[in-house]
Amino acid sequence: HIYDPPWVLYAKGNIALLQETKLISIVGTRRPTKEGIEALEKLVPPLVAAGWTIVSGLAFGIDVCAHQLAVSYGGTTIAVIAGGLDHIYPKEHRSFAQQLMNEQLVVAEHPPATKPQAWQFPARNRIISGLSLGTLVVQAKMKSGSLITASYALEQGREVFAVPGSINLAEAAGPNTLIQHGAKLVQEAADIIAEFPYV
C-alpha cells in the first residue's frame, strides 16, 4: 500500500511476520553514541513486550542493535536488506542474518544473487517504512538514510517518531529537526504505543 511498491519481495524465514499489524520500524545512524544505544535499550524491550515486531535495515549501529534487542528480549524482527538474500551487507552481520533467516525474517526486493549497490540502500528504506505503522528515528545526522526513511514514512501516510538529543550532538540534529517539523517526540515506548489505540 505504498506509492512505489516492490514488484516482488524475496523472503527467508518466518513470512507470517509480514501479516502482523503491529510493525514499527527503528532506524538511525551507523555510528551511534552511548546515548543512542541507551535509548534503544529503554524503548525496544517494552515495545517487544507489547507485541510489536521491530523492522530495520540490518546496517551497522542503530539498525542491528534494534534487531539484536528484539531477539534477545524474545521478540520478533524483520530485516530489509539492499541487494539479494545471498549477499548480506555488511559482511560482519552475515552470521546474525543467518540466525534471523532461521528464526525471524529477512526480506529483499532483488533476486538472491544480486550484489548490493549504493542506490539500493535508499530504495529499500521505502520498504522499511512501508511495512510499518510508524518509523522511529533514534539518532541521525542531518544528511542520512534515516531521514530518507522518515520522509518516505510521511509520503506513505505513516507516523514518524523521533528521540530528542543534545543540541551539541551531531547525531541528534536529524531527530531534533524531525520534531521541529511535527514528528512525535519519544521519551518512552508508551509515547509510540499511545498513537495506535486501534491495534
Farthest CA pair distance, the chain? 43
Would you state the pLDDT for residue 32? 97
Residue 40's pLDDT is what?
A: 98
Exposure of 89 in the CB half-sphere (CA atoms within 13 A): 17
At 104-163, the pLDDT tens digits run 999 999 999 999 999 999 999 999 999 999 999 999 999 899 999 999 999 999 999 999
- pLDDT of amino acid 55: 98
Q: What pLDDT sits at residue 1?
A: 83
Task: Kindly report the number of other CB atoms within 10 A of residue 137's CB atom.
Answer: 28
SS3 62: helix
Q: State the average pLDDT over residues 42-56.
A: 98
CA distance 104 to 12: 8
Cβ proximity of 26 and 61 under 8 Å: no
Integer Cα distance of 128 and 67 in angstroms: 13
The arithmetic mean of pLDDT across residues 83-92, rounded, is 96
Query: What structural domains and CATH numbers belong to the chain?
Result: 10-193 (3.40.50.450)
The average pLDDT across 5-26 equals 97
Chain-centre distance of CA 174, in angstroms? 15
Distance (Å) of CA 56 to CA 81, 121, 168: 9, 12, 27
For residue 183, the SS3 value is coil
**pLDDT by residue (tens digit) across 150-170?**
999 999 999 999 999 999 999
Closest alpha carbon to 36 in 77, 58, 64:
64
Cα 38 to Cα 124: distance, rounded to the nearest angstrom:
26
Q: How far apart are CA 92 and CA 1, in angstroms?
A: 33
Instruction: Quote the pTM value.
Output: 0.97
